[in-house]
A and B are shown apart, each in its own frame.
Chain A
Amino acid sequence: MHLSKSDSTSITNLQVFCYTSEEEEDEAQCNDALNTTVGKEKTADEEALKESAVCAESQDEEHVAPEDPQSFLGQWEDPEEDQTHPSVASFQSEPTRKKISFAQLVKEGRRFNIDLVSKLMFSRGSLVELLIKSNVSRYAEFKNVTRILTYHHGNVEQVPCSRADVFASRQLSVVEKRKLMRFLTSCMEETEEQQAYYSRPYLEFLHDQHLGDNLQHFLLHSIAMASPDTPTGEGLASTRHFLRCLGRYGNTPFLFPVYGLGEIPQCFCRMSAVFGGVYCLRHSVQCLIVDKDTNRCKAVVDSRGQRINCSHFVMEDGYLVGDRKKMDTSLRFLSRAVLITDASVLPGESDQQVSMVTVPSTDGSPTVRMVELCSSTMTCIPGTYLVHLTCQSVGSAHDDLSPVISRMFQTTKPDNHDQRPFVFWCLYFNMADGTALEVEGHDLPSNVYVCSGPDGNLGFERTIELAELIFKKMLPEEEFCPPAPNPEDIIYDGEPPSSTGGEEEQEGPADQEEQHEPEPLN
């Protein structure tokens, strides 16, 4: 049985823009009068597209060593250099904002860790619980998301969600503070009043609580992260989840792994390796050897022609050839954009803020979720911010997200009077939304399992659920991610840890589980 070579549907519409000058500007250049600045667009060629797809998906088949993040920047370095680069105008009369040239970005490329997927961990979500339960958490460090922001009436505002936030908020009147606190306290308990609204829109419920426009906006878009037509039952459930997650690790409900989401699969890999998990790097599986009688996959053949025996095989749906795939719903896509900027969308006392920003939909444009990472998350260099934008696709990523970006950021010449952050570099792409995939019902050997790519949700709930589901199908008797023993309690008696000996087979539960982790490494 052959596998699809690469999933061309996974990443599409790739576009890269660079708005900063290529070379470092020297003083002489700065003194030049206004250079006309033109943001040159560059659509990546087919090759780059393929490369990126491989890079994004290859880990599903084999555990790629954390790929040098530079590859993402580096990839387009050469084509960019062929272009005439726009130079950036500066005003000599005023202290200009610190600019970083493209060359500098490329030079420091190693220090950017750009995730293809943008997610946050709910501090009482299933991923956090799993990391704690399995002791995998010891391999990673996390940062609190420090602020919840929202785009409201053309401004970026901080959403007060904890008691301390409400107290310190300058935008809310004291009466609003009381109403908000009262609502947040009262919605934790189910009431008959809520029941009456259950299937009606949450917005209607909020409206009838006489909270006022500000609070309604905060509660609907930033706390429930719902849309105006979300039913009350669902809205209340997500509000409660948000509130339960508050205060566990900080003043917001979210955590973000230092060095990016790519760390998470890596942590599971490390745990697995301690107990004998083996990884074949830079091998991809070409085809499966299936026993016709038993309808089981006996082995795989990799890209170098090597046969590797296996008792279970897990793969991402992109490797399934079309006729074996069962798709009930039409394929859905996410629109993504990644920016490197020079400032936060809401400068605060500290420049080390990790912000979750909700941009509600306007006139049919999709609701955009934005995560702004500062340099202490180790995903970008000091003086820059890495901004991820995500929404459900309506059109191409550029169509969906560029209006939001041009509203909230400046992409032309940096203007000191313009408080908006300047975009040095920007990447648009569309990717398949994993929520569309059916896990069961494909025409496959009995020991071959399909998992979906990343979904568009903010949390990891679905990912963990899917991983556990597949694990249970493979090994119904085993506990999913049991607590790993403390290192001092392990007896090293020289016996090889894996029952399959030297064979490069991925069989251990920890290893298998590892395979389903759909986060990209970089």
Chain B
Amino acid sequence: MHGRVKVKTTAQQEEEKRKEREKKLKIYVAARDACFAKRKEEIFDDEALQLTQQLLSSNPDFATLWNYRREILLHLETVKDENEVQKIYEAELSFLESCLKVNPKSYGSWHHRGWVSARLPRPDWARELGLCDRCLSLDDRNFHCWDYRRMVVKVSGVSVEQELGFTDRLICSNFSNYSSWHYRSTLLPLLHPECPEQASPHREPPLSPPPHSPQTHFHRVCEEQLLKEYELVQNAVFTDPNDQSAWFYYRWLLGRAEREEMISCVYVSREQERVAVTFSRPVHALSVGLLLVLDGQPQRVEWRSVHPHFKHSPVLICDLPPGTIHDTTNEHNLTVHWTEKHNHRECALYTGRTESWCRDTATDQELFRSELSVEKTSVLQSELLSINQLQELEPLNKWCLLTIILLMRALDPLGYEKETLAHFQTLKEVDPKRSAYYSDLCSKFMIENTILKMEYAEVRVFSISDQNLTTLCHLDQLLLVTHINLSSNRLQRLPPQFAMLQCLEVFEADNNSIKSLEGVYCLPKLEEISLKNNKISTLADLQPLASCPKLTHLDLRGNPITQTAGVESELAKLLPSVTDLQL
């Protein structure tokens, strides 16, 4: 090409660039020093604005300069009239736009923009929203912009409808966007709240009309809108089943609101003169604010958690003053008030009875369907149908399998037990990195099913053996259980939560991998423990058992500890109450 002969060589260009850089650096350093000097002397003039502007346009992350600039602007506010201030701030906004063009993710620029917008005498919020839209169209994950936009929406009172439309647009252009889906989940309950009459009796109807700001959410979404949302999500998951953002949103849609806070069970034992209370959520013993009234008399009692390592517990216990209910010929009425929640539960202890309780069962509370909302069965059934359809097309998609499991649990946890277990097996195979998570989740569901079966049979025996349990949960629901069998599972420890089993008398957990017995702590009625073929290896592991006053039978056959020399005498010292020890 003719032009080529006249083009500078690479070396020439390099040299020129180097000189250019040097020159730039010199100017930059000089301007910086000038700025610092001026700030030291507290000069807030136009020149300082010029200098900082010059520096910040090449380096918008220079926080000190933004601070200086704010000082100058605050000073100018005091000496100029409103129109002039408006002009100054408008100029500031257009300067910031040029900074954002250079670096759209500069903390300094976005923060300053927020500051300027808030001080602008006559802000033009529509313009700011437009700016955010432009920035998000360039990068829909620019979280600085998301933050700023939230501020603009809040201050300018953009309607929830408009904001929902905004998420529609973003999701349509690219549905792999957690920010948009999440934002949607905050808007929907405000715009389409669940009608109180639709709500199930266990859910609290909205107490007040929803606030007109899309910042907080508590409530569920009405069914009509939910159906539309299911359709939207299905479009996303069928288009790309490997994109997890839509699946997470789907799970949110299927989920239900927080449960009502309440006392779900009060248990009183005449012999121990002890009261145990179960709450719908873990509470802290010192701050919960409980009032215990016995036969009309408020009692001074000390509430405590069941285990010192377990501060926030759904079960609290207290000892009544000695002698108050000891006499079996007396009848007592006991009420526990949860003062701050205006909730209470009564429990009557009749003549001749050694214990008594009053509770809502897990079945009553539809507790284990809480993962998913109890929508009309037909809706969930049709959701299950479509996700099953997707699974046929994508048999190895983990999100699909997991969602099927959740839907099945919402519909009929016991009826679908077999299918659920098979899907868990596939899940562990297709996603081996999360197999432990799936095992724990499966354990949780199996425990839930066993609790439901136990409640149906109206017994106080909880038995779940040979089910590959890896974790224990929902132990607060087992407060009244007297016999537990967890044999032949894959448990490794009995966590502090185990101490909630206040009525436990006989405990079997043979053929597990239990090393730690931390949770077998202060169980007042525990008499018999069978831990054959576990991994208990030291005396210290057995230390918690010493706190169980009634323990008489202990079976430790097949544990490493039995190989230790002199273990028998050590155990006799540690556990003097045990009369039947098997090693």
Contacts and interface: CB of A to CB of B under 8 A. Distances in A.
A167 B7 contact: no
B389 interface: yes
A166 B240 CA distance: 10
Given A181-B239, A490-B7, A508-B2, A175 B393 contact: yes
A476 to B, nearest CB: 15
Interface in A170-206: 174-175, 177-179, 181-182
Contacts of B569: none
Given A164-B175, A491-B8, A178 B3 contact: no
Contact of A177 (B2, B174, B239): B239
A177 B389 CA distance: 12
Interface in A135-172: 163-164, 166-168
Interface in A474-492: 478-479, 482, 484-485, 489-492
Nearest to B7: A485
A489 B1 CA distance: 15
Contacts of A163: 174-175, 239-240
Given A164-B172, A168-B172, A174 B235 contact: yes
Given A489-B8, A489-B13, A491-B7, A175 B238 contact: yes
A275 B235 CA distance: 54
| Most A-side CB within 10 Å, residue of B4, B6, B8, B238 | B238
A336 to B, nearest CB: 35
A121 to B, nearest CB: 23
Nearest to B175: A167
A181 B242 CA distance: 12
A88 B63 CA distance: 68
A274 interface: yes
Contacts of B3: 274-275, 484-485, 490, 497
A273 B68 CA distance: 51
A175 B389 CA distance: 8
A414 to B, nearest CB: 33
Contacts of A498: 2
B1 A478 contact: yes
B236 interface: yes
Interface string B310-332: 00000000000000000000000
Contacts of A418: none
Interface in A212-227: none
B67 interface: no
Interface string B1-41: 11110111000010000000000000000000000000000
B72 interface: no
Nearest to B243: A163
A275 B2 contact: yes
A329 interface: no
A510 B1 CA distance: 7
Interface in B212-235: 234-235
A479 B239 CA distance: 45
A509 interface: yes
Interface residues of B, number: 24
A167 B6 contact: no
B18 to A, nearest CB: 15
A172 B431 CA distance: 30
B387 to A, nearest CB: 10
Interface in B379-407: 386, 389-390, 393-394
A493 interface: yes
Interface centre among A175, A182, A489, A498 (most CB of B within 10 A): A489
A276 interface: yes
Given A164-B173, A164-B174, A179-B393, A174 B386 contact: yes
| From A178, A485, A490, A508, residue with most partner B Cβ within 10 Å | A178
Contacts of B393: 175, 178-179, 182
Given A164-B173, A181-B239, A491 B386 contact: no
Contacts of B6: 490-493, 495, 497
B239 A167 contact: yes
A520 B13 CA distance: 39
Contacts of B413: none
Given A164-B175, A175-B389, A482 B4 contact: yes
Given A497-B3, A497-B6, 14 more contacts: A174-B234, A174-B386, A175-B389, A178-B238, A178-B393, A179-B393, A182-B393, A478-B1, A482-B1, A489-B8, A489-B13, A490-B8, A510-B1, A510-B2
6 contacts: A164-B173, A274-B3, A485-B3, A495-B6, A499-B2, A510-B1
Interface of A: 163-164, 166-168, 174-175, 177-179, 181-182, 274-276, 478-479, 482, 484-485, 489-493, 495, 497-499, 508-510
The 4 closest A-B pairs by CB, nearest first: A174-B238, A275-B3, A485-B7, A178-B238
